[in-house]
A and B are shown apart, each in its own frame.
Chain A
Amino acid sequence: MKTTTAAGLLAILAIGGLVLACDSNDTNPLTTSSGKLRIAFDNVVSTSDLKLGTGSYQNSSGETFTVTKFNYFISNIRLRKQDGSDYVVPQDSSYFLIQEDKPASQTITLNNLPAGNYTGLTFTVGVDSLRSLADITKRTGVLDPALNDGMYWEWNSGYIFLKLEGTSPVAPALQNNAFFYHVGGFGGGYDGKKTINNLRTITIPFSSSVAAVQAGAVPSIQLKTDVMKIFDGPTKLSIAQYSSVMFDPYSTNISNNYAQMFSLVGVQANQ
């Protein structure tokens, strides 16, 4: 009898202990306050909207050109909170391919963000080295090297971070007046062998605006991506001089240019 009582008491203690011990780990995602955030990329050329195939533009070298393809990867997104800390979007949910010919790709949605006020955004243009070398099963969707609309060099394992193609009267007639800029190179390979690194990190503060993430409202960050900056950045890119740049040391000048092509248009409280 005494034994039974003791056992009962110990059992109660044990159950109590269990409840207490697990209490601090209890993070039920359903009750945690979280929300969504959208980031919308509007591809433009200076003050004009980008129109594939039809729009005609002129760079500061005086070269007129038309754009026929414009794609780029956005990855490794981090959001700055008002308290100065960062929320890092989980790796597996942080790769996006923006394509001018696919309007749906131009707005990306980040889910399950902790509620709070966000004051800035950091992202990478391109695909980081770790993911570039990851097992093929970890590279699905836009990262599928065989199915991502040619954003991969299968002869030199690696993603093409940005692809800008078009035509210009100053591009060689022998290539049908077409120009091609395919920029990639993650600084990589393994065993310390380094190649060109065209990964660029972009930080966009929301200026005086705040994106308030909460249940029931989806704030939207409106960004502008200016193709003209690819020509008119720190390096003046002349189509006549460089009509085709792919995996080439000169591509670093282009990535330095496109590192400056993003700017904030505004923050919408609820989209």
Chain B
Amino acid sequence: MIFLKTISTKRIGLFFSALLFALVLACQSQKTSDPNPVPPDPGGGIDYQTTPVTLREPANFPTKLYDLTTNPLTVEGVSLGKTLFYDPMLSRDTSLSCGFCHQQFAGFGHSDHPLSHGIDNKFGTRNVPGLQNLAWDREFFWDGGVTSLDELPISPIQNAVEMDLKFSEALNRVQKNPKYPPLFKAAFGSDTVTTARFLKAISQFLLTLVSADSRYDKYVRKESGGTLTTDELAGLALFQQKCATCHATDLFTDKSYRNNGLPVSGINDQGRYTITLNEADRLKFRVPSLRNVEKTFPYMHDGRFSSLDQVVEHYRTGVTDSPTLDPALKTNGKLGIALTDTEKTQIIAFLLTLTDNTFMTNRAFSAN
């Protein structure tokens, strides 16, 4: 052991460090693997290069909910998603695309259509919701029945009164159309059209639809162009006092489901109850965002009101009582929200400041 004296302690230390490191490396491959692992994507080992896209997260918004690590946005993925969104091939008779009912100039809602209007001039039972700021949502549709953005398009594509196309046929058409395989390859490294790739591409495009440049946004973020008039400011104060319980945060919805006292129509839509089968959820519908509300008429889940005046008037004088009526609409035994004529005008003036023309004219979101 004499020779050990000639080796410095430092050197021994180095040796042991190296030894430990080697141990770690040597043992790495020894992990017991799942005997039936999920097969890797059939990418064929082809190199592909995507360009990452950063999702815009406006300073006045709460924390987003979509997990981007499950679907990182790329220029190629967003572009593929947009192509699919505007492709009428996804309807049975190739007459309408997603963009048919989700029109950009109408805040991605269906302008002037109380009820969704689909294939063969058929009508649905609800008003088309506008598409915006979807990374901040975790439940979709008026009743919250869809719980993942990545699954949402299956419903309108297959719905008999919307696009009425079997999803397998949608994938088949996309796979066979020469324009798509290269787009899938660019986005996902493989030209095979799978359910997951198809849906995630559409999600990528939808996620980029961020609306946050209304005059109100500029006002709260203290940016240029953010000037509100006296009436609008008075409307904002009233809104915060009388409406923000439900239309909360700068997304203008608390994403809850509420019965806002609309008389039950002939459609007899039971809303959230059809999803939860919970009696307490009868006649409840999701609180919609008010962003771009000026352009998303008609209003309410069944589009029964065509003007903001009618909407505010409903809350002032039209609320009907029922066991599931929202408590916020029945205080001290009085139905509805007390508003003077002036206050009503001021609130509507404020609502018009939520119009985001930048969003509704952005060429990046347009068909071409």
Contacts and interface: CB of A to CB of B under 8 A. Distances in A.
Given A93-B36, A136-B195, A157 B3 contact: no
Contacts of A17: 19, 23
Interface size class of A (residues with CB under 8 A): 35 or more
Contacts of A154: 146, 151, 154-155, 158
Contacts of B196: 136-137, 139-140
B367 interface: no
A126 interface: no
A190 B27 CA distance: 39
A249 interface: yes
Contacts of A137: 70, 196, 200
A195 B154 contact: no
A144 interface: yes
Secondary structure of the B side of the interface? helix
A227 B37 CA distance: 34
B30 A22 contact: yes
Contacts of A157: 145-148, 151
Interface in A193-217: 193, 195-196
Interface stretch (B53-61, B270-278, B300-308, B348-356): B270-278
A266 to B, nearest CB: 27
Interface stretch (A3-11, A65-73, A160-168, A174-182): A3-11
A111 B35 CA distance: 8
Interface string B146-161: 1110110011001100
A64 to B, nearest CB: 31
Contacts, number: 123
A189 B36 contact: no
A14 B21 CA distance: 11
A155 B155 contact: yes
Interface residues of B, number: 47
B70 A112 contact: no
B35 A145 contact: no
B34 A147 contact: no
Interface string B265-300: 000000000111110000000000000000000000
A136 B22 contact: no
A34 interface: yes
Given A18-B23, A136-B150, A90 B36 contact: yes
B168 A146 contact: yes
B48 interface: no
A62 interface: no
Contacts of B2: 2
A102 to B, nearest CB: 15
Given A155-B155, A195-B277, A135 B145 contact: no
A241 interface: no
A247 interface: yes
A6 B7 contact: yes
A146 B153 CA distance: 10
Interface in A1-39: 2-3, 5-7, 10, 13-14, 17-18, 21-22, 25-27, 29, 34
Given A21-B26, A154-B158, A155-B155, A146 B167 contact: yes
B150 A112 contact: no
B331 to A, nearest CB: 27
B199 interface: yes
Contacts of A144: 195
A3 B154 contact: no
A248 B277 contact: yes
A27 B154 CA distance: 43
Nearest to B3: A2
Interface in A75-90: 90
B195 A147 contact: yes
B32 interface: yes
Contacts of A189: 147, 276
Interface of A: 2-3, 5-7, 10, 13-14, 17-18, 21-22, 25-27, 29, 34, 90, 92-93, 111-112, 133, 135-140, 144-147, 152, 154-157, 189-190, 193, 195-196, 247-249
The 8 A-B pairs of least Cβ separation, nearest first, read: A112-B35, A146-B167, A93-B36, A2-B3, A25-B30, A154-B155, A156-B145, A154-B154
5 contacts: A92-B38, A111-B35, A147-B168, A156-B275, A248-B277
